[in-house]
């Protein structure tokens, strides 16, 4: 098994589903990032636009206003930028971000692939059915695992054609992005279908509502314990990068899972 890498989450937004409003002050956000690295995160994902179900996008200048002051405070700290906008990605890469986490998988902004390629950056390609505003209304698949894998294979080819080395790309089935709880869990259960594409798989299960709905049909977030259980199960099935809000707990849970299972 691959050693697990934990990606912390710091959303510089008023409305993210779990940490919205917590990090609006750039000093507070930068301190949160450094704290997560101290707790064992390999990288911290900084976002200036919520993609929770039902959300609308934010304008470019507002997204830059949120994330640039945070990035300016984090020279030398391993961070990624959660954006679909090429201009936000370009500024972030200039300020030292290592990876661009694009939930649109290069479908949102035609300039984004070139920006990542020119900077020699890493890229996460995520699957989403529909768009955040409407994606949870009626997600439909004939076979969720093969459809998500086929989509990501095609987006990987687009990234490579734009000059991004395949070794710089990780893939994410997009837990909660146009999927029912059952479809989310099936994607994790059948992770081998995605792993067959030969790239590391990143998963964002942390506090997602599918985990909360196991206990309360009206839940909008999942608990920490449920997040840890799901992360360990996903790790056993081959996921290697875990996008999480609670870094220390995931580092410990995954280290224990690795000790039991024998990670390399």
Q: Is 243 a catalytic residue?
A: yes
Please report where in the chains the tokens 């290069």 appear, as a residue: 106
Residue 25 burial (CB count, 10 A):
12
How many whole angstroms separate alpha carbon 38 and alpha carbon 141? Answer: 41
110's CB contacts (< 8 A; 6+ apart) are none
Q: Do the bridges between strand 169-172 and strand 241-244 make them parallel or antiparallel, or are there none, so unpaired?
A: unpaired
42 touching ligand HH2, by CB under 6 A: no
CB of 204 to ligand HH2, least distance (A): 2
> Which candidate in 208, 220, 237, 248 is catalytic?
208
Q: Which of 90, 91, 190, 243 binds ligand HH2 (CB under 6 A)?
A: 243
Residue 198 burial (CB count, 10 A):
11
Q: How many residues bind ligand HH2 (CB under 6 A)?
A: 21
Q: Nearer Cβ to ligand HH2, position 189 or 261?
A: 189
256's CB contacts (< 8 A; 6+ apart) are none
Phi, psi of 200 (to 5 degrees): -60, 145
Could you tell me the maximum CA-CA distance found in the chain, to the nearest angstrom? 47
240 touching ligand HH2, by CB under 6 A: no
Residue 194 burial (CB count, 10 A):
26
67 touching ligand HH2, by CB under 6 A: no
Residue nearest to ligand HH2 (CB): 204
Enumerate helices (H) and strands (E) in the chain, giving the number of each. Answer: 10, 8
63 touching ligand HH2, by CB under 6 A: no
81 touching ligand HH2, by CB under 6 A: no
122 touching ligand HH2, by CB under 6 A: no
Q: Which of 124, 159, 211, 251 binds ligand HH2 (CB under 6 A)?
A: 124
Q: Is 208 a catalytic residue?
A: yes
Q: Which of 4, 8, 10, 11 binds ligand HH2 (CB under 6 A)?
A: 11
Residues lying near ligand HH2 in the complex (CB under 6 A) are found at 9, 11, 13, 16-18, 47, 50-52, 82, 101, 103, 124, 126, 172, 174-175, 202, 204, 243
């Amino acid at each position: 098994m691959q050693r697990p890498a934990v990606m912390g989450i710091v959303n510089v937004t008023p409305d993210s589903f779990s940490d919205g409003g917590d990090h609006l002050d750039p000093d507070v956000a930068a301190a949160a990032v450094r704290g997560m690295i101290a707790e064992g995160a390999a990288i911290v994902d900084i976002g200036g636009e919520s993609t929770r179900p039902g959300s609308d996008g934010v304008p470019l200048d507002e997204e830059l206003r949120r994330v640039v002051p945070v990035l300016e405070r984090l020279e030398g700290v391993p961070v990624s930028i959660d954006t679909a906008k090429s201009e936000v990605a370009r500024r972030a890469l200039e300020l030292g971000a290592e990876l661009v986490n694009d939930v649109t998988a290069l479908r949102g902004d035609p300039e984004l692939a070139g920006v990542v390629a020119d900077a020699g950056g890493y890229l996460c390609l995520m699957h989403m059915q529909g768009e955040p505003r409407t994606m949870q209304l009626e997600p439909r698949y004939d076979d969720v695992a093969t459809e998500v894998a086929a989509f990501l294979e095609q987006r990987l080819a687009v990234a490579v054609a734009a000059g991004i080395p395949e070794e710089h790309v990780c893939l994410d089935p997009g837990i909660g992005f146009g999927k029912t709880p059952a479809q989310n869990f099936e994607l994790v259960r059948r992770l081998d279908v995605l792993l067959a594409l030969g790239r590391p798989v990143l998963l964002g299960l942390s506090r997602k509502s599918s985990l909360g709905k196991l206990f309360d049909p009206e839940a909008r977030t999942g608990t920490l314990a449920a997040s840890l259980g799901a992360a360990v199960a996903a790790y056993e099935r081959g996921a290697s990068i875990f996008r999480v809000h609670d870094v220390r707990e995931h580092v410990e849970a995954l280290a224990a899972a690795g000790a039991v299972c024998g990670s390399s």
